[in-house]
Amino acid sequence: MPTVSVNRDILFQILGRTYEEKEFDELCFQYGIELDDVTVEEDGSTAYKIEVGANRYDLLCVEGIGQALNIYLGNVATPHYRITDPKNTDQQTIIVKPATAQIRQYCVGAVLRGITFNQARYDSFIALQDKLHQNIARKRTLVAIGTHDLSTITGPFVYDALPPQEINFVPLNKTSAYRADKLMELYSSDQHLREYVPIIKDSAVYPIITDSKGVVLSMPPIINGDHSKITLNTKDVFIECTATDKFKAQIVLDTLVCMFSGYCEKPFTVEPVNVTYESSGETEQFPVLEYKPLKASVQYCNSLVGVSESADFIAEKLALMGLSAEATSSEEVAVIVPPTRYDVLHECDVAEDFAVAYGFDKLAEDLQLPPTNTIGQEYQLNYYTDKLRVLLSQNNYTEAATFALCSKADLGDKLRVDLSLEPLVEVGNPKTVDCEAVRLSLLPGILRTVAANKHIALPLRLFEISDVCLRDNRASHTRGTGARNERHLCAINYNVRAGVEVLQGLLDHVMLALKVPFNEEAQGQGYWLEGKDHPTFLPGFCGRVMFNGREVGKLGLLHPDVITAFNLNNPASALDLNLQDLLDLNAQPF
């Protein structure tokens, strides 16, 4: 869930009164949000960290939270947002060139006219854009927002896609011009912008927005131009959003203009922008600011919430949630959903808002407990896993908890494994090399743990029981994800003389606990060891663990190259056991 940091004093100013912390926490609970934390900023101000629903984009700034709570408390009516024609000027237009279809094919826009900023409003305006980028815009991959001082630029505006060598402009907060490809190199190491660089870096063309004089407004989704940056003195704001998903761009634009149109000279008004697609000749007007009609059954709402109230009562409560509602009959309520509430899609969403406005604390008084009570059973694999953890701890092994993500080098070169034979589940655009792939073995994590604890007296005997992730295209095993988890046990004996006999004893103890008999004939039922070399282990000192004729693990002395690769000073033996297969094949362990 997104967490929004708001200045407490500004929020209370919007609400028209101050609250004790406990009192405000209760108000948040009643509305369905949560006061997650209270902190003191460097300037001495108090900040409230408020957790909101992931689909409530209207609550991602102090303006939205304050307005929603004011409506809920009955202090104000739900504002009506209007599109107004521009005065003394032509309506702004964005011309979308055909080349943009190669990279980010959609664009929307709007104008906030006569807006008044102060430092707090300006900071909130920027913070809301960042929250929208991180949430619905999926870190700018779906939508990228650009805001500009309209007085510094001249329409009509052109949205095009050009080779990076042909793009040259002064980026935001810089003093000199950069060519686009050089700019990407610069931002590849920037703490805030480097995560967005891969979105377009390998494209043959980069998106670019210019005005009628060729001034660059922005190169989405990376950076705006410095020429049109907004300041505290900006009065007219031109907003453009480029996107790969037009509907999400519409949501982002509507949310942004609704939250800040209240600061305009004419509150809650927005000037539209025409978007013309040159390839088709089609013209669309944005923002949409659609008020959607919806009908809700009184019987449905009552049954879902667990009460018995009239249509007029339900309509009255829905008004507290920002929904215009009217009882059209004793059995139906007509609801108008404002452009700020894109989370309301169905009758069940109306019923949910009714439940919130009714009060969950009041619902508890009316509800009756069911006549029966059931308790869920622990997942069988987890039950046996916990038992084995206790067993290994009792055998003087220390449990390690390592990361599920690791580098491809840890899984491949360092273990002397050919990854082309064991394809990885890789992470797209990892921030660090240590997060390149999901582990397919627990061994690298344990070896890195040993390397970080070489100062501890020998022997070091560690184990981990956790999941690895394997590529698998069988729909019955992966539910269409192309990968599956598999529970493994890995143990290591790190010592001056790390013979495999120590771990073989541990293996015998584990099998004894699982009630799996040792089979000396090495065939049929039970478990046994078979000599078989593996690149990770020293030749001649490695074997595979067989169970009912099927390989379920490996045991051996680690290869010297593996020891060196993980910066270890002593030999080590390792046991890798596939518990998933072992427990699936064995009916009644413990």
What angle, 0 to 180 degrees and rounded to 10, lies between the N-to-C axes of helices 62-73 and 21-31? 80
d(CA 341, CA 225): 32
Q: What do you get for the CA distance between the two ends of the chain, in Å?
A: 40
Distance of CA 260 to the CA centre of its chain: 26
Supply the pLDDT for residue 369.
Answer: 61
d(CA 309, CA 345): 23
Structure tokens at 152: 């510094």
Supply the pLDDT for residue 51.
Answer: 94
Supply the pLDDT for residue 590.
Answer: 55
Supply the pLDDT for residue 380.
Answer: 86
Structure tokens at 50: 């408020």
Nearest to 101 by CA among 204, 201, 196: 204
The pTM (predicted TM-score) of the whole model is 0.65
Peptide bond into 459 cis (omega under 30): yes
Q: Is the pLDDT of residue 40 over 90?
A: no
d(CA 488, CA 107): 49
Q: Is the pLDDT of residue 178 over 70?
A: yes
Tokens 């103890």: give the residue.
509
Average pLDDT, stretch 298-303?
A: 91
Supply the pLDDT for residue 378.
Answer: 85
> Are the CB atoms for 265 and 77 separated by under 8 Å?
no
Supply the pLDDT for residue 476.
Answer: 58
**H-assigned helices in 8-86:** 8-15, 21-31, 62-73
CB-CB neighbours of 294 under 10 Å? 17
Supply the pLDDT for residue 370.
Answer: 64
Supply the pLDDT for residue 364.
Answer: 63
Q: What is the pLDDT of residues 409-418, one digit of tens each?
A: 999 999 999 9
Task: List the strands of the sheet with 332-337, edge to edge.
Answer: 292-297, 332-337, 324-329
Element (H, E) at 366: helix 360-366
- The residue ranges of every structural domain in the chain are 3-73, 82-286, 292-366, 380-585
Structure tokens at 189: 């190491």
Look at 123-137, 223-237, 517-531, 556-570 and tell me which has the smallest mean pLDDT. 517-531
Identify the CATH assignment for 380-585 out of 3.40.50.720, 3.30.1340.30, 3.30.930.10, 3.40.50.1980.
3.30.930.10
Look at 79-93, 139-153, 237-251, 360-374 and tell me which has the smallest mean pLDDT. 360-374
Q: Is the pLDDT of residue 401 over 60?
A: yes
d(CA 51, CA 34): 5
Q: What is the pLDDT of residues 419-460, one digit of tens each?
A: 888 888 999 888 888 999 999 999 999 999 999 999 999 999
Q: What is the pLDDT of residues 451-478, one digit of tens each?
A: 999 999 999 999 999 999 998 877 556 5
d(CA 551, CA 543): 10
Average pLDDT, stretch 6-31?
A: 93
> Are the CB atoms for 239 and 109 separated by under 8 Å?
yes
Structure tokens at 11: 């929020």
> Are the CB atoms for 17 and 25 separated by under 8 Å?
no
**H-assigned helices in 204-297:** 246-260
Residue % of the chain over a pLDDT of 90: 78
Identify the CATH assignment for 292-366 out of 3.40.50.2300, 3.30.56.10, 3.40.50.300, 3.20.20.150.
3.30.56.10
Domains 3-73 and 292-366 share a fold: yes
Mean pLDDT of the chain: 91
Q: Is the pLDDT of residue 367 over 70?
A: no
Spell out the CATH class of 82-286: alpha beta
> Are the CB atoms for 199 and 114 separated by under 8 Å?
no
CATH number of 3-73: 3.30.56.10
> Are the CB atoms for 163 and 99 separated by under 8 Å?
no
**H-assigned helices in 425-464:** 443-451
Q: Is the pLDDT of residue 208 over 90?
A: yes
Q: Is the pLDDT of residue 276 over 80?
A: yes
What angle, 0 to 180 degrees and rounded to 10, lies between the N-to-C axes of helices 298-305 and 311-319? 70
Q: Is the pLDDT of residue 587 over 50?
A: no
Average pLDDT, stretch 327-340?
A: 93
Tokens 């060139």: give the residue.
97
Average pLDDT, stretch 216-230?
A: 94
Q: Is the pLDDT of residue 31 over 80?
A: yes
Supply the pLDDT for residue 521.
Answer: 84
d(CA 347, CA 22): 33
Supply the pLDDT for residue 420.
Answer: 85
Element (H, E) at 418: none
